[in-house]
A and B are shown apart, each in its own frame.
Chain A
Amino acid sequence: MNEIIKKYFRNNKLPHIWCPGCGNGIVLGALARAVDKLGLDQNKTAVISGIGCSSRSTGYLDFDTIHTAHGRALTFATGLKLARPELNVIVITGDGDCTAIGGNHFIHAARRNIDITTVIFNNNIYGMTGGQYSPLTPTKGKSTTSPYGHIEKPFDIPELAIAAGATYVARGTTYHTMELSKLIANAIEHKGFSVVEALSSCPISFGRQNKLGNAPSMMKLLKEKAISIKAAEKLPPEKLAGKYLIGELFRKQLPEYTEEYQKIINNLTEGGQMQ
């Protein structure tokens, strides 16, 4: 990991701003290992984030990086990828950034099947503003804006992504770190819009309010609640109640947006050259 930190992180920007016990570093480590495993060219890879704790990641990564406005990472990523399809474009976003303020951009990027990989750090809460409920806060969950218990139902991010048209969808956790890295690598390799939901934990802003214990106890919860999609196939539905499926949940090969656009250019020009 030391070599990976040296190579893919802006070492003069560390240490990071995250709280003790935060899962963000684990997800970011999994992402860096995935990039390393695939041998992506650092000069041809752009990482784009929104606003929130997890979106601060781009400042630490040694690529071309954009820390955009709240919810807007996928809009910048779409413009960059369409303009420069030869670049690898990876989006880092949180559960609130991606599915609340950025929800419209998320479903439309998925529908277009543009070749962008989106890694969603899901800690079930708005951490940077101090613990307000997000679209992923569980029903009955306590937050500083649901002091009497949350009455809304959370999104299921993979189901949302699949319904919207994403062609690679996976879920991992910060407990299953190696698998998470593999899922992210597969997502980057996939041609089309790929989504990896990384279940993480926020002991300070979510755990404390919901009496979930310290960081190791929260990680234990991730382990206990997760069940691999392969194991789940053999289990009756009652055994799956309250569990999260993890692993590669969906994969389909469909025409990719920038390639389809290039076909239009090629039909109208000689060799698709820009004039």
Chain B
Amino acid sequence: MSQAFLVQGNEACALGALAAGVRFFAGYPITPSTEIAEILSKELPKVGGKFIQMEDEIASIGAVCGASLGGYKAITATSGPGFSLKQELIGYATLAEIPLVVVNVQRGGPSTGQPTSPSQADVMQARWGSHGDKGVIALSPSSVQETYALTIDAVNLAERYRTPVIFLLDEVVGHMREKLIIPKTPPKIIDRRKPNPGELPYTPGPNGVPPLPAFGEGYRFHVTGLIHDETGFPTGNPEVTDKTIRRLHSKLEDNIKDILRYSEYQTDDAEFLIISYGCSARSAEKAVKLGRAQGIKLGLLRLISIWPFPTELIMSKTKNVHKVFVAEMNYGQVTAEVIKAIGREKTEGILRVDSQLITPDEILSTVTKGVY
């Protein structure tokens, strides 16, 4: 029997992590993500897993890196200032190719900002937060049910692509209570690929992703945050450096069909399109209903995976529409990416940075101005 619960998004995230096979969590208390740590501190030891509250945010992701190299599926959860602190080791895990998930329940920034209010202003930090060029996977759910399933996806993608996955929750979805149905059939689980005999720890496989043995299994390999060759040891060679940096991007971009997640609502005959994600997409969906009732041919393209950015998808879905509105709780972070894809004339942001949720009426009134 599938089971139904009335839970918060943060709880759905913790339950999804357990269902995905996560058996290690390290974190540091921070609003509005703390419930994830609290629930996992209670649940992990019941299934033989490990929880630790570390001395700070950097230590938390450091411990997650260590546990992941020990062969565990490992995650951490944080928000705003904690996400800033974690950037150092997100960069490390990207280059050293350590699978892990960083949940960021977005709150208002900069700095301590608006700790108890929602925001979607960490989209660009998820992409470019740590120094250096790198590829990244970022996912953003819009409901409690989706949070559960997408947390499992996040863990699976981290394992398949040997990379950190940024899970962009927001304060609304994280704290909102909704029905969660946990299906009776166990979810599909992906495990990291182990090396074949003689295979090097940083030789890319057919999908661009190298295999990863666990510590203690006799491979005796080296992991470093320096640019390294396929043996895993540091090198100053410009060709190897070029190849490594390009592969960190291409292993995700070349597999975008597998990573890409989105949903559409009323887009078939749409003349006007809203692009949105996370909490704002909930208001956008309502705005589509209200707009359709007034006879406006309005549709919604909801991004579920944000990075790698679905440029081609957006180009194809906006080809036949007159105008595109991007609804998001920030100063225009995804809006700028959409402009990059389809140009400035056709694109308009519906942006809110006052820590309040964008309302359906607000979206509709902007759309209406664009229509008439």
Is the Cβ of B50 less than 8 Å from the Cβ of A83?
yes
Q: Is A238 an interface residue (CB 8 A)?
A: no
Is the Cβ of A76 less than 8 Å from the Cβ of B65?
yes
Is the Cβ of B49 less than 8 Å from the Cβ of A274?
yes
What is the chain B residue whose CB lies nearest that of A65?
B222
Binds A, one of B55-63, B121-129, B358-366: B55-63
Is the Cβ of B59 less than 8 Å from the Cβ of A67?
no
What is the chain B residue whose CB lies nearest that of A269?
B48
Cβ of B162 to closest chain A Cβ, rounded Å: 15
Q: Which of B25-60 contact A (CB under 8 A)?
A: 26, 45-50, 52, 54-56, 58-60
What is the chain B residue whose CB lies nearest that of A88?
B216
Is the Cβ of B215 less than 8 Å from the Cβ of A76?
no
Is the Cβ of B66 less than 8 Å from the Cβ of A80?
yes
Cβ of A44 to closest chain B Cβ, rounded Å: 6
CB-CB contacts of B200-224 with A at 8 A, as 1s and 0s?
0000000000000001111111111
Q: Which residues of A contact B223 (CB under 8 A)?
A: 65-67
Q: Which of A95-148 contact B (CB under 8 A)?
A: 104-105, 108
Interface residues on A, range: 35 or more
Q: Which residues of B contact A48 (CB under 8 A)?
A: 66
Chain B residue total in the interface (Cβ 8 A)? 46
Cβ of A49 to closest chain B Cβ, rounded Å: 10
Is the Cβ of B48 less than 8 Å from the Cβ of A274?
yes
**CA separation between A105 and B26, bound complex, in Å?**
14
Q: A43 with B216: in contact, given A78-B52, A274-B48 (CB under 8 Å)?
A: yes
Q: Is B88 an interface residue (CB 8 A)?
A: yes
Q: Is B110 an interface residue (CB 8 A)?
A: no
**CA separation between A209 and B48, bound complex, in Å?**
54
The contact of B218 among A43, A82, A272, by CB within 8 Å, is A43
What is the chain B residue whose CB lies nearest that of A265?
B45
Q: Is B92 an interface residue (CB 8 A)?
A: yes
Q: Which residues of A contact B371 (CB under 8 A)?
A: none
Is the Cβ of A269 less than 8 Å from the Cβ of B46?
yes
Q: Which residues of A contact B65 (CB under 8 A)?
A: 68, 75-76, 79
Q: A79 with B26: in contact, given A84-B70, A269-B46 (CB under 8 Å)?
A: yes
The contact of B59 among A75, A83, A84, by CB within 8 Å, is A75
**CA separation between A75 and B66, bound complex, in Å?**
7
Is the Cβ of B70 less than 8 Å from the Cβ of A80?
yes
Cβ of A112 to closest chain B Cβ, rounded Å: 9
Q: Is B287 an interface residue (CB 8 A)?
A: no
Q: Which of B226-259 contact A (CB under 8 A)?
A: 226, 233-234
**CA separation between A82 and B53, bound complex, in Å?**
12
**CA separation between A179 and B150, bound complex, in Å?**
55
The contact of A63 among B23, B68, B217, B220, by CB within 8 Å, is B220
Is the Cβ of B89 less than 8 Å from the Cβ of A72?
yes
**CA separation between A275 and B67, bound complex, in Å?**
17
Is the Cβ of B48 less than 8 Å from the Cβ of A84?
no
**CA separation between A269 and B23, bound complex, in Å?**
14
Q: Which of A30-75 contact B (CB under 8 A)?
A: 42-44, 46, 48, 58-59, 62-69, 72, 74-75
CB-CB contacts of A242-275 with B at 8 A, as 1s and 0s?
0000000000000000000100110011001111
What is the chain B residue whose CB lies nearest that of A258?
B50
What is the chain B residue whose CB lies nearest that of A66?
B223
Q: Is A86 an interface residue (CB 8 A)?
A: yes
Is the Cβ of B62 less than 8 Å from the Cβ of A79?
yes
Cβ of B277 to closest chain A Cβ, rounded Å: 31
Extra 4 A-B pairs, beta carbons < 8 Å, given A80-B66, A108-B59: A78-B63, A84-B71, A105-B62, A274-B48
Q: Which residues of A contact B (CB under 8 A)?
A: 10, 13, 42-44, 46, 48, 58-59, 62-69, 72, 74-84, 86-87, 104-105, 108, 261, 264-265, 268-269, 272-275
Question: 15 A-B pairs, CB-CB below 8 angstroms?
Answer: A59-B233, A67-B225, A69-B62, A69-B92, A72-B58, A79-B65, A79-B68, A82-B52, A83-B24, A83-B74, A84-B71, A86-B216, A105-B55, A269-B45, A272-B48
